[in-house]
Amino acid sequence: MADRYLTFTGTAPGRFLTRRLGLPRPAPLTRWSAERPVFTGGLLHLTAGKGMPGLEQVLARTGLDAGERDPAAVVLDATGVRDVGALAEVHAALHPVVRSVAASGRVVVLGAPPDAADHHQAAAQQALEGFTRSLGKEIGRGRTVNLVRLTDPAAAESTLRFLLSPKSAYVSGQVIHVDARDTTAPDDWDRPLSGRTALVTGAARGIGAAVAETLARDGARVVVLDVPSAQEEAERLAARLGGSALALDITAADAGERIADALPDGLDVLVHNAGVTRDRRLANMPAERWSSVLEVNLASVLRTTDALLARGTLRPHGRIVATASIAGLAGNAGQTNYAASKAGIAGLVRALAPHALAGHQVTVNAVAPGFIETKMTAAVPVLIREAGRRMNSLAQGGLPVDVAETVAWLAHPASGAVNGQVVRVCGQSLLGA
């Protein structure tokens, strides 16, 4: 469903009324397209404290030219900030330029992991989180602000390319940790998944279909998995993407074994997207509504992941990306079952990630969507829908492609240093922020 309020605020009367009444003023977001894969403006590189060696070379490969006037993106290297006094350099660096960042532009702050042996450094680096999230809430005009903690800029190249591109339009206020680990750059950054196989569950429609399309765009051979009742839709999508369809109830006890049997040559990317809602307040929720949501959204993810890892179906350097939700991180009235299942996904990711990496060379991450414009949200009563759209720093709902682009970044072969992360795709929702 079209966001008529966003369209109205782009007109002269809309701008006048929203300014006079103090109403949200969302700005149209710039998203990736084949015609405009990167921003046309420049990249401004700033430093607070001692700069990080090698960062300049990585930034030069993002496709953005160095430029100081009306930059499309600003990168502030604050990895060298080690005490409260040095935080003044963060203010001094960004204060003069923040207003000049182009609409739909990017601000990325780079921080270092807090040092447990140095409480002054830890305090200063933790301060960057509050700074980044607050700046994201005030910067406006469709611009985003994120913090990346890293020690090796080469390991963060895929992350920086993502955050400094139109692909990250609905990711803001996030703190992303990038480990110091060797990564392999793809032969072709435009089609990084060439020669790789990806399976997406619940992929016949909605967010799952957008994920399948985006992974195929990036070169993957996509297996579109959905329930037998959606087989016709799944087959049409698979045919359009040059992939294949797999009709399967993901809650079946042998679902993992059947997936492994269907993919004898192995799998590189596993995206757990299938999910259901059965909303009702706990006092009015029968056991069936509780168990059906937990079974689809969480138990099936655990079973199939365990089975595919045990069978060796996921190849070395593979990727598992699960779908959580901001409801699981912040809670939501009427969704105790759904929120429990999605919080469980976050727990799964954080616990499994180090073991999957050590034992199978597979990373495990999750996306946590906020208000995404789908058929499901279009059916929400209008006042609740409008509130959901506006309760984030970008003052609008996201699109399925925003989730898909984030999945594609986590699935990227050069994203091996990103592990155990739950990344919100919510426009910096006020819920749980």
Which amino acids are annotated catalytic?
338
CA dihedral 267, 273, 275, 281 (to 10 degrees): 130
User: Measured between alpha carbons, how far is 109 from 73 in angstroms, rounded to an integer?
Assistant: 11
User: Measured between alpha carbons, how far is 345 from 327 in angstroms, rounded to an integer?
Assistant: 12
Please give the full DSSP string across 377-424, using - where no structure is assigned: HHTS-HHHHHHHHHSBTTSS-B-HHHHHHHHHHHHSTT-TT--S-EEE
User: Measured between alpha carbons, how far is 110 from 152 in angstroms, rounded to an integer?
Assistant: 11
**Exposure letters 221-231 (e unless 16+ CB within 10 A, then b):** bbbbbbbeebb
Closest alpha carbon to 131 in 151, 97, 108, 114: 108
**Exposure letters 90-105 (e unless 16+ CB within 10 A, then b):** beebbeebbeebbebb
Please give the full DSSP string across 173-199, using - where no structure is assigned: S-EEE--S------S-TTSTTTT-EEE
Token reading at 368: 């946590």
Supply φ then ψ for residue 265, to 5 degrees: -90, 0
Token reading at 179: 């480990």
